[in-house]
Amino acid sequence: MSNETIELIKKTTELKGVSGFEHEVRDFMRQEMTPYVDDIQLDGLGGIFGIKNGIDTQSPKLMVAAHMDEVGFMVSSVTAKGLMKVVSLGGWNPYVVSAQRFTLITQKGEYPVVSSSIPPHLLKNKESSTPSIDSILFDGGFESKEEAWEYGVRPGDVLVPDVQTIEMANGKTLVGKAWDNRYGVTLVLELLKKLEKETLPSTLIAGANVQEEVGLRGTKGAVTQFKPDAFLAVDCSPANDINGDKEAFGRLGEGFLLRIQDPGMLLSKEMKEFLLDTAETHDIPYQYFFSKGGTDAGAAHQMNKGIPSAVIGVPARYIHTHQSLFRIDDYEAAKEMVYQTVKAFDQSVLETLRAF
């Protein structure tokens, strides 16, 4: 892993971009993609894609799509004491929300905020109960609702986890927020740069959707607009390996995730065979993955009369928290897999994917 890649990962993961408020990530992607593509286009919801034309106008179109958004919170009201009540943007385990730092983004500025928690001293002789998002207040240090109002705090403002991405001791692992799915954002940017001087047998539409974490919304506008012939989601999934179970799905350090099934999509026989052949031809490490959560491929594959779709993923521990832990070599495997898949995708491959 190059220092350039490490720095890019730090940049993308530290950007602030919860669902519906992906502006900072989109601006960064536009800046980074522009030198390496023939055109930059946005869909009506704010997804951004770089277009790299294929060898001719009849080339099939392959979409490689990350999603820009990360999980966070939105202010729903402000109490008389100046604390904020919130609704979640994306899925959160309520046990990991309390006593964490966030950035509150308002029209007047960005402010530090901490999520409330109850000290153990105040829990004595009280029945413990499962916390809920509704019961966790967010504290910006304001003395009253009026003071919060003066600083521009309003319902609809958003809170983003406040974290720096760092390397771990062994040099193989990083930890930080939003690897779901700045993994995909990072991969798309490096992919386009790597393909700069190459001619492709297909037209590549590579970029990122918005609002994946709140119902796979963004990809519907993007697929409608760009009309790809095939679709690859590049997304991060939860690792389930901390107890050492070799049969668990999502194990760090064992390669990219070849997603076979989730609640929204079944990988087709034809697509599976194509991806397995690509990975094994190029000696790219992979692992099979079955998931309880979905990706943008789940929405994309049902659109435009049906689109051959797949997910090239990576595992990370503790996703949808402030501290996602992930392996560099898994990212490298996924990046090489997407690169080889893009280079191989042509009209004959598309016909094979539709051969049923």
Task: Provide the residue-wise pLDDT of the chain in tens; the chain has 356 residues.
Answer: 689 999 999 999 999 999 999 999 999 999 999 999 999 999 999 999 999 999 888 899 999 999 999 999 999 999 999 999 999 999 999 999 999 999 999 999 999 999 998 776 666 666 666 778 888 999 999 999 999 999 999 999 999 999 999 999 999 999 999 999 999 999 999 999 999 999 999 999 999 999 999 999 999 999 999 999 999 999 999 999 999 888 899 999 999 999 999 999 999 999 999 999 999 999 999 999 999 999 999 999 999 999 999 999 999 999 999 999 999 999 999 999 999 999 999 999 999 999 87
Relative to beta strand 203-209, strand 61-67 is parallel
The pLDDT value given to residue 139:
98
pTM of the full structure? 0.95
Instruction: State residue 124's pLDDT score.
Output: 65
Tokens of 251: 């194990």
Pairing of strands 230-238, 61-67: parallel
For the chain, residues classed under CATH 2.40.30.40 are 72-161
Question: Which residues carry out catalysis?
Answer: 212
The backbone torsions φ and ψ at residue 81, rounded to the nearest 5 degrees and listed phi first, read -85, 0
Question: How far, CA to CA in Å, does 23 sit from each of 6, 74, 157, 205, 252?
Answer: 23, 16, 14, 20, 31
Give the fold, CATH level 3, of 72-161.
Answer: Elongation Factor Tu (Ef-tu); domain 3 (2.40.30)
Residue keyed to tokens 């001719």: 56
| Contact yes or no for 85/66 (Cβ under 8 A) | no
Q: Rounded to an integer, what distance in angstroms lies between the CA atom of residue 20 and that of residue 12?
A: 17
d(CA 217, CA 296): 8
Q: Domain spanning 3-70+177-353: which CATH class is it, in words?
A: alpha beta
pLDDT of amino acid 355: 87
- Return the pLDDT at 356: 77
User: Structure tokens of 190?
Assistant: 């490096």
Contact criterion met (CB below 8 Å) for 64 and 50: no
Give the E-state strand segments of the chain in sequence order. 39-42, 48-52, 61-67, 72-78, 84-89, 101-105, 110-115, 138-139, 158-161, 166-167, 173-176, 203-209, 230-238, 256-262, 265-266, 286-290, 309-316, 324-327
What confidence score (pLDDT) does residue 119 get?
A: 74
What integer pLDDT is reported at residue 132 of this predicted model?
87
Q: What is the pLDDT of residue 64?
A: 98
CATH 3.40.630.10 in the chain, residues? 3-70+177-353
- The string of DSSP letters for 160-187 reads EE----EE-TTSSEEEES-HHHHHHHHH
**Residue 349 CA to its chain's centroid (Å):** 27
3-state DSSP assignment of residue 232: strand
Query: Which pairs from 345-348 meet CB under 8 Å and 24+ separation?
Result: 345/60, 345/62, 345/201, 345/202, 345/230, 346/59, 346/60, 346/201, 346/202, 347/58, 347/59, 347/60, 347/201, 347/202
Is-contact 180 324, C-beta < 8 A? yes
CA–CA dist 86, 234 (Å, integer): 30
Residue with tokens 């600083």: 151
pLDDT score of 125: 63
**For residue 15, what is the DSSP state?**
S
